[in-house]
A = this chain, B = another copy of it.
Amino acid sequence: MSKRISVRDVAAAAGVAVGSVSRVLNDSGYASQSLRRRVLEAAERLGYEPDFTARHLRTGRSKTIGYLLPNIANPFLAAHLSEVERLTQAAGYSLLVGSSEHPSRDRELVAFFENRRLEGIIASPSYEYPDPRVCPFTQCKLPVVIVDRAMGHDFDTVQIDHADGMRRATDYLLTLGHRRIALFVSSASLRPGREKLIGYQAALHAAGIPYDDALVYMPNSWIESSRQRMAQLLALPSPPTAIIALGTRMLSGAIHVAHEAGMAIPRDLSVIGIGTMETLDLMRPPVTALRYSFERSAQITVQLMMERISGAGPLEPRKVTIPWDLVIGASCTSRAA
């Protein structure tokens, strides 16, 4: 059981002082050629690796970033996390992940990240803390980058342009002649849902079509069933001729019910969905869907974080917005007037 070798071992082997070893290996301060050579040789020979933890304790730099998110299994969050990990790894940083679905755990995790002296926190929390005084991220001394949330307090933020994407998706269906367009999106308690509703309403308003609450399904809890709601919609006096379902489960629920009711897509119902590339390809007919680049959103996220860590960039929080693409499939058709 060979003990770990430290600077002292290298110093002894090279016949120099520990300080000199550190100086040579970190290129800090003066070092003559002969000293440099002896230290490097000894370090190489002994296979010396500086201990990360000790260095961290001494310098205060942990070279680690915390990533807080509600659920790693969510395909969108996982895709973003994946790209962020790649980029931070390339920049010499590691990623400590922590999942949290409740404010109390948000608080615990932030405190924990702070206690471990991480250098920054990337977060997409499940609550937006309208009151900054109780927001764990406001109290936090570390650099924070928020992903797709509208927090009560301003932070560096990367956000997806849900309103614009939704506006264009709705416009597309309106252009095809649809007037009764159902909307299934996630809860309005977070930015993604709220913004999508805004875009939807804006498109309808511009087209002079009244907004009908009965066509909109924004579940505040997962207990409500999108299948049940879809069945209700189809039983309406004037049922929808199109649906925008921006959520994998909601999309599958809606399609399921439509099929059971003997409807064909797009003949009887036009559909706009959402998804990662993998899942969208599974559907027949290919679904028209909203997509955005995870590479891009992750790249901005990491860039903001790195600038904040290095102290570069402005002091005031910055917000960067990522656009959606409407990828045309074969799940929508024009509606005769």
A positions within 8 Å CB-CB of B: 49, 51-54, 56-57, 62, 64, 71-73, 75, 78-79, 81-83, 85-86, 89, 94-99, 111-112, 115-117, 248-249, 251-253, 255-256, 259, 276, 278-279, 281-284, 294
Contacts and interface: CB of A to CB of B under 8 A. Distances in A.
A51 B282 contact: no
A72 B57 contact: no
Contacts of A79: 73
Contacts of A95: 96-98
A99 B116 contact: no
Nearest to A75: B75
Contacts of A251: 282
Nearest to A67: B97
Closest 10 CB pairs of A and B: A72-B82, A252-B281, A73-B82, A78-B78, A52-B116, A252-B282, A248-B278, A73-B79, A279-B279, A53-B57
30 contacts: A51-B115, A51-B117, A52-B115, A52-B117, A53-B117, A57-B57, A72-B85, A73-B75, A75-B75, A75-B78, A75-B278, A78-B78, A82-B99, A85-B97, A85-B98, A85-B99, A94-B112, A94-B116, A95-B96, A248-B278, A248-B279, A249-B281, A251-B282, A252-B278, A255-B284, A256-B281, A256-B284, A279-B279, A279-B282, A283-B283
Nearest to A71: B82
A274 to B, nearest CB: 11
Contacts of A72: 72, 78, 81-82, 85
